[in-house]
Amino acid sequence: MSGKSILSRREFLGAAVAGAALAPSLLAAPQSETREISMSKSSAKIRMGIVGGGFGSAFYWHLDPDCIVEAVSDLKDDRRKHLMDVYKCSKSYHSLEELIKDPNVDAVAVFTGAPDHVRHAVACFKAGKHVISAVPACYSMEQAEELFDTQKRTGLTYMMAETSYYHPAMISARQFYKEGKFGDIYYTEAEYLHAGMEYSLWTDEKGNHTWRWGFPPMHYPTHCTAFLVGLTGERLTEVTCIGYSDDDPIIKGNPYGNKFWNETALFKTDRGNAFRVSVNWRGAFGGCERAQWYGSKMSFFEPDPNGVGPVIRRSTHKMGQDTAGFAREEATFEKYEMPDWRTELPEAMRVGGGHEGAEPFLTHEFVDALVHDRKPAVDIHEALAYTVPGIVAHASAEKGGKQMKVPGFDR
pTM for the whole structure: 0.88
Give the separation between CA 316 and CA 15, rounded to whole angstroms.
37
Instruction: Determine the 3-state secondary structure of 316 from DSSP.
Output: strand
CA neighbours closer than 13 Å in the CB half-sphere of residue 64: 29
Strand partners, 277: 190, 265
pLDDT the model gives residue 318? 61
pLDDT the model gives residue 152? 98
Q: Ramachandran region of residue 297, left (φ > 0), alpha (ψ -120 to 50) or beta?
A: alpha
pLDDT the model gives residue 2? 37
- Cβ–Cβ < 8 Å for 102, 70: yes
- What is the 8-class DSSP label of residue 249? G
Give the separation between CA 15 and CA 267, rounded to whole angstroms.
13
**Amino acid symbol at 302:** E
Contacts of 403 (CB under 8 A, 6+ apart): 238, 239, 240, 396
pLDDT the model gives residue 16? 32
* Cis peptide bond upstream of 255, omega within 30: no
Strands 130-133 and 158-160: parallel
pLDDT the model gives residue 55? 87
pLDDT the model gives residue 327? 56
Give the separation between CA 217 and CA 272, rounded to whole angstroms.
25
Q: What is the pLDDT along the chain (411 residues), one digit of tens a residue?
A: 333 333 433 443 333 323 333 334 456 654 433 333 333 344 589 999 999 998 899 999 999 999 999 999 999 999 999 999 999 999 999 999 999 999 999 999 999 999 999 999 999 999 999 999 999 999 999 999 999 999 999 999 999 999 999 999 999 999 999 999 999 999 999 999 998 888 889 999 899 999 999 999 999 999 999 999 999 999 999 999 999 999 899 999 999 999 999 999 999 999 999 999 999 999 999 888 999 999 999 999 998 888 788 999 998 766 555 666 665 666 788 999 999 999 999 999 999 887 888 999 999 999 999 999 999 999 999 999 999 999 999 999 999 999 999 999 997
- What is the 8-class DSSP label of residue 261? S
Instruction: Determine the 3-state secondary structure of 72 from DSSP.
Output: strand
Give the separation between CA 293 and CA 29, rounded to whole angstroms.
15
Please report the domains of the chain, with CATH numbers, ordered by start residue: 46-164+346-380 (3.40.50.720), 165-339+388-405 (3.30.360.10)
pLDDT the model gives residue 30? 46
Instruction: Determine the 3-state secondary structure of 351 from DSSP.
Output: coil
pLDDT the model gives residue 357? 85
Nearest of 157, 111, 152 to residue 135 by alpha carbon? 111
Give the separation between CA 25 and CA 34, rounded to whole angstroms.
7
Give the separation between CA 342 and CA 279, rounded to whole angstroms.
29
Q: Sign (positive/negative) of CA torsion 127, 128, 132, 133?
A: positive
